[in-house]
Structure 1
Amino acid sequence: MNIKTIIFDLGGVIIDLDFKKTPEALALLSGWPADDIYQRYWEPGLFQDHEKGLISDQDLRLGINQLFKTQLSDLQIDQAWNAMLGNVPKARLDFMCSLRKDYKVLVLSNTNGIHEKAFNQIIQASSGEQSLHAFADEVYFSHELHMRKPDLDIYQEVLKRSDNRADECLFLDDTLANLEAAASLGIHTLHITEPDNIFNLTAYV
């Protein structure tokens, strides 16, 4: 492989993630079964539209109250929505910086405005920096691109914007469907099953 660019996913790769904590938190607030909420997340509609930036953060909050027939405050919804987000150990951020000596480093994540504010606070607490932009050459979020993984158009757009050839990129993600889509375009991929696996990255490049 002649890798020139390394593309990091965010959740489960840079930031610790426990996705089921958000459905569990919403279940406590709404009385809905957590499994039903988890299933709804993966269906087209409210949650995916928000992740694509097609609706605003406030539209999401209104939509959650309408969906669950609740009258939750913005704070209650945001706290439940951010429950899945864990820590960002500074060692991972430092590792990304070290890679920039030899590679272009990008971040490509399915995320949303509410989460972006929350993980920026986590990054600041961990490192003193304001955002991921301090640790990567370019950062691409689904809610800003109005596309999401594993749709092929988001990978094509990132390759175009970053001026990269697919076969010169290595993409790290914790979700196989996202990796399979990237690989279909000729992007090299690495499945990250535990976030600290990124420290073994140099064995692959």
Structure 2
Amino acid sequence: MIKNIIFDFGDIFINLDKMATFKAMAELGVSNITEEMMQIYHQYEKGFMSTEDFIKFFHNKFNIPKTDLVNAWNAVLLDFPKERLSFLQELSASKKYRLFLLSNTNDLHIKWVQNSLGVQFYNDFKNAFEQFYLSHEINFRKPDTNIYEFVLNENSLKAEETLFVDDLEENTNSASQLGIHTWNLTPGVDDVTELFEKNKQLL
């Protein structure tokens, strides 16, 4: 029986344009994403690098104005449909499941989300969860299995009683290695509001 549900954030609740940052960086003259750049990005997303140092790295390397870098970095983030928040709040109010958020989210992105959604909307969203885990705050990132082990251990959850919802197959695959049930939601095809229609084990 499923007793716990762990949700991703991007393309589960908030819509993303995953190519937008690459396009924006290309317009700024950066079309080749190197291994070094990916390592810096992963360090930042794990919270091992400050926002100031992250922006400084790209500013110094490519001589791009810092404001343009921030705008390019946040271009990936789109809208958050209100019906998804309503669904989540109803699910939370039912008390049928323990709810958790687990997201690869960095400091720049979460600040943009807070400013874009507004304090009330953001707090309503955050308060629907028992725990709200962002990668840059807990120093782990998906798809590394230790991030799921962290959530299970911190909250005394059993993998076989837990469903993990994420839009990236590499993330659901790594979670399933630990015995966690998964729903690999396909953006544009599935919607989180269809949780019970698409996951009969919850009924």
Does TM, normalized by the shorter one, top 0.5?
yes
SS at match of 2:123: coil
Paired with 2:42 and 2:166, the residues of 1 have a C-alpha distance of 19
Paired with 1:130 and 1:121, the residues of 2 have a C-alpha distance of 12
Paired with 2:47 and 2:82, the residues of 1 have a C-alpha distance of 29
SS at match of 1:105: strand
Contact in 2 for aligned 1:96/1:105 (Cα 8 Å): no
Paired with 1:131 and 1:52, the residues of 2 have a C-alpha distance of 25
Amino-acid identity (%): 35
Q: For residues 172 and 137 of structure 1, do their structure 2 counterparts lie closer, same or farther at Cα, with a shift above 3 Å needed?
A: same
Paired with 1:42 and 1:65, the residues of 2 have a C-alpha distance of 12
Question: Does 2:89 align with 1:97?
Answer: yes
Contact in 1 for aligned 2:7/2:101 (Cα 8 Å): yes
Runs of 4+ in 1 over 6 A off after TM superposition: none
Aligned residues: 196
Contact in 2 for aligned 1:120/1:131 (Cα 8 Å): no
RMSD: 1.9
Q: For residues 41 and 175 of structure 1, do their structure 2 counterparts lie closer, same or farther at Cα, with a shift above 3 Å needed?
A: farther
TM-score (norm 2): 0.89
Q: Quote how far apart the aligned CAs of 1:97 are.
A: 1.4
Partner of 2:133: 140
Q: Quote how far apart the aligned CAs of 1:134 are.
A: 2.2
TM-score (norm 1): 0.88
Q: Quote how far apart the aligned CAs of 1:77 are.
A: 1.5
Contact in 2 for aligned 1:88/1:122 (Cα 8 Å): no
Per-residue CA deviations over 1:43-89 (Å, capped at 9, x if unaligned) read 4x11010000000001110111233x21412x222111100001011
2:100 to 106, 110, 114: 106
For structure 2, list consecutive stretches of 5 or more residues without a partner in the other structure: none
Partner of 2:74: 82
Contact in 2 for aligned 1:52/1:146 (Cα 8 Å): yes
Question: Does 2:3 align with 1:10?
Answer: no
Paired with 2:179 and 2:114, the residues of 1 have a C-alpha distance of 32
Partner of 1:32: 30
SS at match of 1:172: strand
For structure 1, list consecutive stretches of 5 or more residues without a partner in the other structure: none
Q: Report the residue type matching 2:49 in the other structure.
A: I
Partner of 2:167: 174
